[in-house]
């Protein structure tokens, strides 16, 4: 799976760690209805890749353990890196 070179190539892009510790890199190429996902399952540690039809919220099943993974939209004001506490 070829990662995009820049966000200009995407209608949607995210690179984050979900609440269940799943590491996720996902994007939708311009003018396509397909989401590409590269992930590490927070439940079993399996590293996988998939492409599927884009539907909100992005939901898929870990190919190894069967865990359902849901990528919830970020709430406004929650985007970007977290500030470190002093």
Minimum mean pLDDT range among 19-33, 48-62, 70-84: 70-84
> What total number of domains does the chain contain?
1
Q: Tell me, what's the pLDDT at 1?
A: 80
Would 50 be classed as within a structural domain? yes
Would 2 be classed as within a structural domain? no
Q: pTM, whole model, 2 decimals?
A: 0.82
Would 1 be classed as within a structural domain? no
Q: Tell me, what's the pLDDT at 83?
A: 58
Q: Tell me, what's the pLDDT at 81?
A: 59
Give me the residues paired with residue 15 across strands. Answer: 25
Would 80 be classed as within a structural domain? no
Phi, psi (rounded to 5 degrees) for 68: -80, 125
Domain limits for position 67: 7-71
Would 66 be classed as within a structural domain? yes
Write the secondary structure of 32-63 as one string of H (helix), E (strand) and C (coil): CCEEEEEEECCCCCCEEEEEEECCCCEEEECC
Q: Is residue 52's pLDDT more than 60?
A: yes
Q: Is residue 78's pLDDT more than 60?
A: no
Would 62 be classed as within a structural domain? yes
Would 85 be classed as within a structural domain? no
């Amino acid at each position: 799976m070829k990662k995009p070179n820049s966000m200009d190539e995407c209608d949607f892009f995210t690179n984050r760690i979900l609440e269940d510790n799943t590491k996720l890199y996902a994007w939708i190429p311009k003018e396509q209805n397909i989401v590409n996902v590269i992930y590490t399952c927070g439940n079993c540690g399996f590293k996988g890749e998939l492409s599927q039809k884009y539907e909100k919220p992005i939901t898929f099943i870990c190919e190894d353990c069967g865990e359902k993974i849901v990528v919830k939209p970020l709430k406004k004001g929650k985007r970007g890196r977290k500030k470190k506490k002093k």
